[in-house]
A = this chain, B = another copy of it.
Amino acid sequence: MSARTEIATLGEFGLIRHLTENIKLKNDSTLKGVGDDAAVLDYGDKLTLVTTDLLLEGVHFDLTYVPLKHLGYKSAVVNFSDIYAMNGRPRQITVSIGLSKRFSVEDMEELYSGIRLACDVYGVDLVGGDTSASLTGLSISITCIGEGEKGKVVYRNGAHETDLICVSGDLGAAYMGLQLLEREKRVFQGEKDFTPDFSGKEYLLERQLKPEARKDIIEKLREANVLPTAMMDVSDGLSSELLHISKESHVGCRVYEDRIPIDYQTAVMAEQFNMNLVTAALNGGEDYELLFTVPLTDHEKVSEMEGIKVIGHITKPELGSYLVGRDDGEVELKAQGWNSLS
């Protein structure tokens, strides 16, 4: 059995100190990190980007199958993804944790080890936060600050008619990973020594439990001198995000079913679950891939880039937003994405 140290033995200040000690700052823009009323940053002539996410136990994650280290990693990475989606670079995060008596100091070490690993991988500084008791469960609130270059920040509202719609990686796998984990939980609830067999489905689990933000894609586009006209990350599902871009940019769009990138494992699982594969890819969410539009003149450049797929194009607003099926039939896009409040 592993050690269990009660949080009360350290207290609030002691716990923060314990979790944040020996943090080495990596970015020149971080002048002062943890330990004062506020962190102090110097963004010089760069723009400052700010995004935030609140993750609640039982709503956004289920600790029966999500290891705390993975949860920490993912909580940080989903914020980095939002900064990349502005064509920025994440530089700092603050982390606030609410935790009930169920959790020990070792649990928090696990969670923070995941957060700190994500910070190391993406070159981000942990500069502050708050730790507090909660009556029930675990709450994680992370704010990420990043830098953007003037004139190079990419919003959702810049897509123009004839622009190409591109997406990185593949879609629907994280959703299938979640279905898989939920099924195993239901089937084997109560059986202590059961170890589910996930062989051949590792990719789906990884996409759900340890997603990555597409820093590489942002770097590739920059190297190729391609500046997207609009961009978002795919967190609520492709359909929902396409509608955001259409609405904010006052345009319509056409995306082609046979162009949507889907991994082989995702397809196999959809078959096993008797689910519509395209629906899963359109509405699954949590892919953290980048959805962006580029001018038609960049067609050759993006077509040659590994990990990027052109899936459609932007139209006049009056043409609406549709998925074009393999049979050339058109289905209107709807935001059926995951919505915790409905």
Interface residues of A (CB under 8 A from B): 7-8, 10-13, 15, 31-32, 35-45, 47-54, 56-60, 82-83, 85-86, 88, 92, 94, 96-98, 127-137, 139, 141, 143-146, 148, 150, 153, 155-157, 231-233, 248, 335, 339-342
Contact = CB atoms under 8 A, between A and B. Distances in A.
Given A15-B341, A139-B56, A340-B12, A50 B38 contact: yes
A141 B95 CA distance: 10
Given A13-B335, A52-B129, 9 more contacts: A7-B341, A11-B339, A35-B248, A38-B85, A39-B50, A41-B48, A54-B132, A60-B132, A133-B341
8 contacts: A11-B341, A38-B83, A42-B150, A48-B145, A52-B96, A53-B96, A53-B130, A59-B133
A111 to B, nearest CB: 14
B35 A51 contact: no
A38 B88 contact: yes
Copies in the complex: 2
A37 to B, nearest CB: 4
A156 B32 CA distance: 11
The CB with the most chain B CB atoms within 10 A, among A7, A48, A339, is that of: A48
Contacts of A48: 40-43, 48, 145
Given A41-B47, A340-B133, A156 B36 contact: yes
A127 B50 contact: yes
B143 A50 contact: yes
A38 B146 contact: yes
B40 A148 contact: yes
A320 to B, nearest CB: 19
A54 B143 CA distance: 12
A47 B40 contact: yes
A335 B12 CA distance: 12
Contacts of A38: 49-51, 82-83, 85-86, 88, 144, 146
Nearest to A335: B13
A96 B32 CA distance: 24
A36 B52 CA distance: 11
Given A38-B49, A96-B141, A11 B342 contact: yes
